[in-house]
Amino acid sequence: MKKALFFRIGAIGDVLLTTPAIKLFKSKNPDFVVHYMAGYPAVEILKNNPYIDKILLFKEVKTKFPRFINALLAGKDIKKTTDPYYDIFFDLESSYYSTYISFHFNAKEKAGFKITKKRRFYLNFFYKYRLNYKDRDDYISLKFIELVEKYISDKNNIDVNPVLVISQEEKLKAQDLLLSYNIKPGEKIIMACISGTWQSKKWPIDNWISLFNNLSSQKILLLWGPGDEKDIEFIKNKKLPNVFIIPALTIRELASIVSFGSLLISNDNGVRHIAQALSVKTIGLFGPTNENGWMKQDENNIALTYPLNCRPCDKTKCKNNICLQNIRPVDVIEKINILLK
């Protein structure tokens, strides 16, 4: 039996966007056993995926030494959890760090993306195949799909939708939580997610409050995660009668709740990717990141931006964050009316 190992550390949304490539590879190569190694909590989003035979947790080593040393030190645990031999190792991270990690995998062939930095260029020679995927203004999932296309013969019927499967048990638990907010099965649910891994990716909290006030006749289910505690406390103190704030949940519990949504309004974060994977309509609020790369846009998924020459910049911090500040609540309401008409 042939075996393939896919590797990407995270984050949640990044890993989810690799799943169309996994689906393509497995469906076109059913004779392969497919393993996927990812970091926590990204590994959780892969559970129940029918195209992955085994999910492996990557435990990152963190010491005072340089990161490449930590990569070499991770070998002991990697060798305990992985198979001794793979036919293909797919490096979906393709950084200098992941190349050092790859030294611990015994594979007939290793594949990844070309490293273009001059002082790291030598790392390309450790892989049999490096795809020279130059920065393009298109959906990130296509990048991973193009990498695995070398290893399939039939390139028809390619699906770019992320794969995320919620179990019936998970759905029933989510339904119980919704009922506790008097949200009944089949009722239209508008969800809002205020999370953002970077400060610069977060729509200002005052804009959220204004939006909620303008949607006073509509129940809003507010989603959040680690790092949002201060913002959640601020919103709680506003005592908005139409806003229901979920408790702290695991990523899969959160995904189960999202599966019942009619519409999600969200910053550029993993929850928005989860919603798209579950065919929930989305409005994405984009500042420093590229909406063309990080969102599949169609009649059910709309990206909102404010036109500025400085964006997208991919800066994790910004003094004024004007690109997000200038997305008005009225602009969001206009898109809500389009999607829920």
**Kind and range of the H or E run holding 222:** strand 220-223
CATH label of the domain that carries residue 51: 3.40.50.2000
Local confidence band at 246 (pLDDT 50, 70, 90 cut-offs): very high
**Cβ density class 160-197: b for 16+ within 10 Å, e for less:** bebbbebeeebeeebbebbeeeebeeeeebbbbbbbbb
What average pLDDT does the segment 241-266 reach?
Answer: 97
Angle, CA 31 vertex, CA 145 and CA 78 arms, to 5°: 70
Residue at a domain's end among 104, 122, 149: 149
Mean predicted lDDT score pLDDT of the chain: 95
For residue 69, is it within any domain? yes
Helix (H, G, I), strand (E, B) or coil at 245: strand
**Does residue 159 fall inside a structural domain?**
no
The 10s digit of each residue's pLDDT in 247-256 is 999 999 999 9
What is the bridge-based pairing of β-strands 190-193 and 54-57?
Answer: unpaired
Residue 77 sits in the same domain as residue 203: no
- Same domain, residue pair 213 and 295: yes
DSSP string for residues in 313-329: ---S--SS-HHHHTS-H
Instruction: Tell me: do 49 and 183 sit in the same domain.
Output: no
Residue 174 shares a structural domain with residue 85 = no
Under the banding of pLDDT at 50, 70 and 90, the label for residue 55 is very high
Mean pLDDT calculated for residue range 75-80: 90
Query: Of 149, 176, 207, at which residue does a domain stop?
Result: 149
Q: What is the pLDDT of residue 281?
A: 98
Q: Pick from 87, 117, 149: which residue ends a domain?
A: 149
Please check whether residues 182 and 130 belong to one and the same domain.
no
Q: Is residue 245 part of a domain?
A: yes
What 3-state class would DSSP assign to 57? strand
Are 12 and 144 in the same domain? yes
Q: What is the mean pLDDT of residues 55-66?
A: 93
Q: What is the pLDDT of residues 184-223, one digit of tens each?
A: 888 999 999 999 989 999 999 999 999 999 999 999 999 9
Total structural domains within the chain: 2
| Contact assessment for residue 258 and residue 278, using Cβ atoms and an 8 Å cutoff | yes
Q: What pLDDT is attached to residue 158? A: 87
108 and 196 co-located in one domain:
no
- Residue from 60, 54, 20, 22 nearest 40 by CA: 60
Residue at 163 is within a domain? no
Q: Where does the pLDDT of residue 28 fall: very low under 50, low under 70, confident under 90, or very high at 90 and above? A: very high
Tell me, yes or no, whether 184 and 80 share the same domain.
Answer: no
220 shares a domain with 111: no
In a domain, 222, yes or no: yes
Q: Which residues pair with 285 in a beta bridge?
A: 267, 304
Give the rounded percent of residues in the chain with a pLDDT score beyond 70.
Answer: 100
Same domain membership, residue 259 and residue 199: yes
Domain span at 6: 2-149
Dump pLDDT digits (tens) for 310-338: 999 999 999 888 999 999 999 999 999 99
Q: What separation in angstroms does the CA of 119 have from each of 104, 115, 122? A: 22, 10, 7
State the pLDDT confidence band at 157, using cuts at 50, 70 and 90.
confident
Shared domain for 212 and 332, answered yes or no, is yes
Residues 82 and 53 both lie in one domain: yes
pLDDT class for 140, splitting at 50, 70, 90? very high
Q: Flag whether 157 is in a domain.
A: no
